[in-house]
Amino acid sequence: MKKNTSFMIKMLCCSLVRRRSRMAAALLGIAIGAAVLLGMVTLCYDIPKQMSKEFRSYGANMVLVSSGRESMNLDDAAKAVRHFPEGALVGMTPFRYIPVRHNMLPYTAVGTDFDAVKKTSPYWRVSGEWPAKENEALVGADIAEYARISPGRTLAIDGRNSKHAKFEANITITGIVKTGGVEDGFIFMRLPDMEAMTEEKGLADVAEISCSAGEKELQDIAAVVRTDVPSLEARLVKRVIQSEAAVLGKLEMLLYLVTLVVLVLTMICVATTMMTVIMERRREIGLKKALGAEDRRIAKEFFAEGVILGLVGGLCGAICGLLFAQFVSASVFDRSVAVEFYLIPAAIAVSVLVTVAACLLPVRRAVEIEPALVLRGE
Amino acid sequence: MALVVYNLKVEMLREVFVNILEIQDISKIYGTVNALRNITLSVQQGEWAAIMGPSGSGKTTMMNIIGCMDKPTSGSVILDGDDISRLSSEELTGIRRDKIGLVFQQFHLVPYLTALENVMVAQYYHSIIDKEEALQSLERVGLQDRAEHLPRQLSGGEQQRVCIARALINHPKLILADEPTGNLDEANEGIVMDLFRQLHCGGSTIVMVTHDPGVAAHAERTVVLEHGRLARITSNPAKDF
Amino acid sequence: MFWKMIFGALTRQKSRLLLIAFTVALGVSLATAMLTVMFDVGDKVNQELKTYGANLNVLPKGLSMLGEMYNLDQVEGEAARPEQHLAEADLGKIKMIFWAYNIVDFAPYLETKIMAGNRPVILVGTWFDKHLNLPTGDEVDTGMTRMKSWWDVTGSFGRDDEPRGAMVGASLAAELGLKAGDALPISGLEGQDLGSLEVCAVFHSGGVEDGQIFAPLRLVQDIAGKPGLVQRVEVSALTTPENDLARRAAQDPGSLSRLEWDTWYCTAYISSIAYQIEEIMPGARAKAVLQVAESEGAILQKTQLLMSLLTILSLACSSLAISNLVTASVMERGTEIGLLKALGATTLSVVLLILVEILITAFAGGILGYFVGLGFAQIIGRTVFGAAVTANAMAAPLVALLVLLVAMAGSMPAVRMLLLLRPTEVLHGK
């Protein structure tokens, strides 16, 4: 019996190797199917996460404010930030608001960390340079227009700190910030400069936090922060969170549906391709039947052939699918795709299943036909 | 003891004289077409019979029924003691495998297998493959040096000889040939007919379907069909074999 | 005879040609669905992104928006700033700019301070859901109800025809112990009685609005003594993602060349819409809210790029599948072709025969597939966006071209093989 098994394997190999062009056609079909399957599913899995990162360009989705009347302590804020998951936290930007005067007119000076601003509020449009050195500052577009301030100018400002002690300082404007929002009416300076100017250290009024997480997660974090750092209150920026959830939900659904449609159609295509390839071999099936092969044995041979084709095609397809997913992710999000490795064997298994199913249907039809009809050789 | 000897004698008699194929009053109807009408025919062990007739006379239907690839609408066909008109298609498959060797007009070789492997396919479905035996079978048809060639590398005559080697490999009770020379030129026809003659001398039972009187003349007996009826049976003058 | 043969092949080789037609139909339906969704996904996602709120603020010239963020206390001397207003009557003009069609919604706001429950509160007047008849004859429904869809509202949104109906912010409502259906007595800052408001809803927005009261614009204009005036208008517009040209134009429209200026003006960039609003409303300044505008652009671009790539993938797949199948099924017909050649058919006529046959089949399948694909696109549109997907006129010719190319390409290897065939070989059972 061992000899027979090895002959069957040999026959299989011959069928696969010596009918190269047909097998190539079948393999191509299966590989396309597997590539689409793995590529689309991987993307489907990964894109919502990637998109969620994109949505961070809308800026902070959570703010920390003091729960009391006085300004909050930066150390507390740093403590609160530790409760945010490492990978999801995009950034935390503290803001300190101080009323100041220049040329006898009132303005609001805001002390902040510009590096953090670039992360949490990527929509800021700065013409000129971001402040880098001591006593450099940005001025809002509205003020710049109203008071005719251009980059390079030095402003003398004065005001009183929270203890009503007077201070004065000279700041150099390096750029004009424009957001279309309230920022257009502020003067922004580096937090250390403001601390030195007002002689008050480690204080902020608001800390904006940008974190790629859903509403539920953020609410949990907010609750934890409230209990752990009672001096702070974490508030969700509802507009950003809700809209993100809505849009992301739709996008996700769109992707799932598109994937489903593509998958169903591709699988049917694989099946039809396999069917044509098998239908060609009706005569061979008839011959084998005439030689006395039982239906079961013929089915077994084609089954084995289908499994091999499915495996090889599935493997090639899986590789192409991953490359494709990688390409899409790289060109759309500039990031590499996160591959769920269990999807690879799953994709191969599905392509084997589809291939075998697509083989067996026409084979069953072929063996049902009397060999005489096939062999008469129309 | 005497009984045993007697039984042995009966067995031997059956071997020599008993009909291997007995067709009793068969008809075959396809829809409204009466392909065969009330045909009765028997073929003896070791006989070489030719079935002749013009196109549409029912030759192919006859061949399919004898070859266990089709069943008559009525009547019985007894092949080596089994009434094949009563068997299920599963059982017919078994009969076909064990008792019949088929030779086709279009050769029907598996295109992606070598000559040797094509012979071995028959062994594979029959029982166990045996390369030596398959090679011997090819040697018998004079193709031992073409064993590793694919069908497309062989000439028509060579393909037909592979087909014959395949038909012989399982020692069938009956060799059934459908227009074996229909696709061959004269030279190859000669070679193939010589092969059949050798088989006949070796004791094989051969039923050959043909429309060529020249080919039919090689057989001991010619059965002529016309419009699905048995027109006549002629015995050919004994050849020198 | 040629057509007889074609007809014979089409009617008598049903199963084989049906399979081709079926595969073509599948491929085409996939391609159509993807193309249709791709062409429309920008608009649809853009609509969805409108939940992020207005991307344009229209302000009177000179007014700046100090003190709005985070509920800051009023900056000292704020009142000294020159304060102008926009005329409510002018607002309809926003819907009459070149890109009027892209203005999704807009709502005016007028703020005034009142006393409610013994504490100063900001009362905001707005249009909840206003019906406008434009001079152009168009009718528009717009207002805050449409723009603040992300608010959590307990009760029903306010209505413009209920002069004293008001929506109260969640934190204020909690402080004053109000719920929908309550009456809220209000008075002026100097204590003069202003009657009472009917609380029709309590809302939670997560922003400064939670401490404010929203009422119909007319009421607030009366209280503030500013009849027919508004302070600012929020506009929500569908925009095209910004590019270099748009950025340069936003800096200074004067720096563009004539051609660039035309391109910019006739593209729905946020800056060109802002410019057009300023053009039509001379006393106004339209400011793009970059937080919304820029992010929208980024997300739109990503979505569109993503969909295009997926569309290309599915187009490639269906092309390969179709041409693969066509190749396989034409190859099968070696015998028939050999016979035709043996009968003296010229190569050209054989090739023509095959191509015409395949093309007829492919187009039959293609037409079926096109409509099935439109169906798929509608299903996707309905399920995902709750709106019909507009069938883009571009999809049909693109798909037709695709079918043509794919069917031809699929037949090519087979045709090449057939041309090399020698009739005798085919007929002698190879």
**pLDDT, tens only, C197-247:** 888 889 887 777 888 899 998 888 888 888 888 888 988 888 887 778 887
Task: Looking at the structure, tell me whether residues C271 and C401 fall in a common domain.
Answer: no
Q: Beta partners for B176?
A: B102, B207
- The span from the CA of C60 to the CA of C245, in Å, is 27
Question: What does pTM read for this prediction?
Answer: 0.70
Q: Would you tell me how many other CB atoms lie within 10 Å of the CB of residue A335?
A: 13
Residue with tokens 């193939």: B192
Of C51, C302, C383, nearest to A51 by CB-CB distance is C302
Q: Judge whether residue C334 has pLDDT over 90.
A: no
Residue C50 lies in a domain: no
Domain boundary among C288, C314, C331: C288
Domain boundary among C288, C307, C330: C288
B94 at A interface, C-beta within 8 A: yes
Q: How many CB pairs under 8 A join B and C?
A: 8
**Distance between alpha carbon C23 and the CA centroid of its chain, in Å?**
32
Task: Looking at the structure, tell me whether residues C248 and C386 fall in a common domain.
Answer: no
B122-137: per-residue pLDDT in tens? 888 888 888 898 999 9
Using CB atoms within 10 Å of the CB of residue C10, give its burial: 0 to 12 exposed, 13 to 18 middle, 19+ buried: middle
Angle B131-140/B156-168 helices, nearest 10 degrees? 130
- The span from the CA of C128 to the CA of C146, in Å, is 8
Q: Which amino acid appears at position B40 of this protein?
A: T
Q: Which residue has the higher pLDDT, A131 or C13?
A: A131
Using CB atoms within 10 Å of the CB of residue A165, give its burial: 0 to 12 exposed, 13 to 18 middle, 19+ buried: exposed
**Distance between alpha carbon A170 and the CA centroid of its chain, in Å?**
45
Q: Judge whether residue A188 has pLDDT over 90.
A: yes
Task: Looking at the structure, tell me whether residues C304 and C274 fall in a common domain.
Answer: no
Chains in contact with chain A (at least 3 beta-carbon pairs closer than 8 A): B, C
Residue C383 lies in a domain: yes
B45-80: per-residue pLDDT in tens? 888 999 998 887 888 888 888 888 888 888 899 888
Distance from CA of B191 to the nearest CA of C (A): 18
B113 to chain A: closest CA residue: A14
Chains in contact with chain B (at least 3 beta-carbon pairs closer than 8 A): A, C
pLDDT attached to residue C354: 78
Please answer whether residues C376 and C33 qualify as being in contact, where contact means their C-beta atoms are separated by less than 8 angstroms: yes
Yes or no, beta carbons of C430 and B152 under 8 Å apart: yes
DSSP strand pairing (B48-52 vs B221-226): parallel
C422 at B interface, C-beta within 8 A: no
Overall residue count recorded for chain C in this entry: 430
- The span from the CA of C326 to the CA of C409, in Å, is 9
Which of B71, B92, B93 would you mutate first to test chain A, the one with the most A CBs within 10 A?
Answer: B93
B173 at A interface, C-beta within 8 A: no
Yes or no, beta carbons of A272 and C22 under 8 Å apart: yes
Q: How many CB pairs under 8 A join A and C?
A: 226
C213: helix, strand or coil = strand
**CB neighbours of C373 closer than 8 A, spacing ≥ 6?**
C28, C29, C30, C31, C32, C33, C36, C399
Q: Judge whether residue C186 has pLDDT over 80.
A: yes
Q: Judge whether residue B15 has pLDDT over 60.
A: no
The Cα angle at residue B172 between residues B167 and B177, in degrees rounded to 5: 50
Distance from CA of A318 to the nearest CA of B (A): 29
Q: Beta partners for A30?
A: none
B106 at C interface, C-beta within 8 A: yes
Which residues in chain C touch residue A184, judged by CB atoms under 8 angstroms apart?
A: 64-65, 287
Which of C69, C148, C244 would you mutate first to test chain A, the one with the most A CBs within 10 A?
Answer: C69
Q: Judge whether residue C192 has pLDDT over 70.
A: yes
Structure tokens at B65: 């029924």
Which of B61, B107, B108, B183 would you mutate first to test chain A, the one with the most A CBs within 10 A?
Answer: B108
Q: Which residue has the higher pLDDT, C352 or A220?
A: A220
Overall residue count recorded for chain A in this entry: 378
Which residues in chain A touch residue B110, judged by CB atoms under 8 angstroms apart?
A: 284, 287-288
3-class DSSP string for C147-200: HCCCCEEEECCCCCCCCCEEEEEHHHHHHHCCCCCCEEEEECCCCCEEEEEEEE
Residue C281 lies in a domain: yes
- The span from the CA of C324 to the CA of C312, in Å, is 18
Task: Looking at the structure, tell me whether residues C98 and C223 fall in a common domain.
Answer: yes
Alpha helices in chain A (DSSP H): 2-18, 20-54, 74-81, 114-120, 141-146, 191-198, 215-228, 238-279, 282-290, 295-333, 343-368, 371-375
Which residues in chain A touch residue B112, judged by CB atoms under 8 angstroms apart?
A: 14-15, 17-19
Distance from CA of B238 to the nearest CA of C (A): 34
Task: Looking at the structure, tell me whether residues C39 and C72 fall in a common domain.
Answer: no
pLDDT attached to residue C64: 44
Q: Judge whether residue C348 has pLDDT over 80.
A: no
B168-223: per-residue pLDDT in tens? 888 888 999 988 888 888 888 888 899 899 888 888 899 998 888 888 888 889 99
Q: Judge whether residue A198 has pLDDT over 70.
A: yes
Task: Looking at the structure, tell me whether residues C255 and C195 fall in a common domain.
Answer: yes
How many domains does chain C contain in total?
2
**CB neighbours of C141 closer than 8 A, spacing ≥ 6?**
C129, C130, C131, C132
Angle B186-201/B156-168 helices, nearest 10 degrees? 20
- The span from the CA of C399 to the CA of C32, in Å, is 7
Q: Which amino acid appears at position B48 of this protein?
A: W
Of B104, B126, B129, nearest to A292 by CB-CB distance is B126
Q: Judge whether residue B16 has pLDDT over 60.
A: no
Structure tokens at B166: 């395949």
Domain carrying residue C382: 2-45+298-427
pLDDT attached to residue A376: 61
Task: Looking at the structure, tell me whether residues C148 and C71 fall in a common domain.
Answer: yes
- The span from the CA of C64 to the CA of A178, in Å, is 13
Task: Looking at the structure, tell me whether residues C307 and C280 fall in a common domain.
Answer: no
Residue with tokens 């005001």: A159
pLDDT attached to residue B206: 92
Of C327, C289, C323, the residue nearest C406 (C-alpha): C323
- The span from the CA of C151 to the CA of A242, in Å, is 9
Helix (H) or strand (E) segment spanning residue A152: none
Selected residues 128-167 of chain B with any CB under 8 Å from a CB in chain C: 151-152, 156
Q: Judge whether residue A354 has pLDDT over 50.
A: yes
Domain boundary among C262, C288, C314: C288
Using CB atoms within 10 Å of the CB of residue C348, give its burial: 0 to 12 exposed, 13 to 18 middle, 19+ buried: exposed
pLDDT attached to residue C423: 57
Yes or no, beta carbons of C428 and B156 under 8 Å apart: yes
- When pLDDT is cut at 50, 70 and 90, the band that residue B7 belongs to is low
Distance from CA of C289 to the nearest CA of A (A): 4
Domain boundaries, chain A: 2-54+246-375, 61-236
Residue with tokens 């009849």: C227
pLDDT attached to residue A174: 92
Yes or no, beta carbons of B183 and C430 under 8 Å apart: no
Which of A96, A276, A282 would you mutate first to test chain C, the one with the most C CBs within 10 A?
Answer: A276
Of A7, A290, A377, nearest to B124 by CB-CB distance is A7
Q: Judge whether residue A328 has pLDDT over 70.
A: yes
Q: Judge whether residue A67 has pLDDT over 70.
A: yes
pLDDT attached to residue B3: 54
Distance from CA of B164 to the nearest CA of A (A): 12
pLDDT attached to residue A316: 92
- Domains, in order of start, for chain B: 44-74+86-235 (3.40.50.300)
Between the alpha carbon of residue A60 and those of residues A80, A91, A239, C171, C400, the distances in Å are 15, 9, 10, 21, 47
Task: Looking at the structure, tell me whether residues C93 and C216 fall in a common domain.
Answer: yes
Rounded to whole angstroms, the maximal C-alpha distance in chain C is: 111
DSSP strand pairing (A89-102 vs A154-160): antiparallel
pLDDT attached to residue A1: 61
C384-426: per-residue pLDDT in tens? 777 788 877 788 888 888 888 888 877 777 677 666 766 555 5
C429 to chain B: closest CA residue: B106
Which residues in chain B touch residue C428, judged by CB atoms under 8 angstroms apart?
A: 156, 183
**CB neighbours of A196 closer than 8 A, spacing ≥ 6?**
none
Distance from CA of C36 to the nearest CA of B (A): 46
- When pLDDT is cut at 50, 70 and 90, the band that residue C68 belongs to is very low
- When pLDDT is cut at 50, 70 and 90, the band that residue C1 belongs to is low
**CB neighbours of C335 closer than 8 A, spacing ≥ 6?**
C426, C427
A32 at C interface, C-beta within 8 A: yes
**Average pLDDT for residues C10-24, to the nearest whole number?**
74
Helix (H) or strand (E) segment spanning residue B126: helix B115-126
Please answer whether residues C115 and C191 qualify as being in contact, where contact means their C-beta atoms are separated by less than 8 angstroms: yes
Structure tokens at C118: 């013994």
Of B41, B51, B99, B47, the residue nearest B72 (C-alpha): B41
Yes or no, beta carbons of A332 and C19 under 8 Å apart: no
Residue C293 lies in a domain: no
R_g over Cα of chain B? 18
Between the alpha carbon of residue A247 and those of residues A209, C55, C187, C203, the distances in Å are 21, 16, 42, 21
Q: Judge whether residue A65 has pLDDT over 90.
A: no
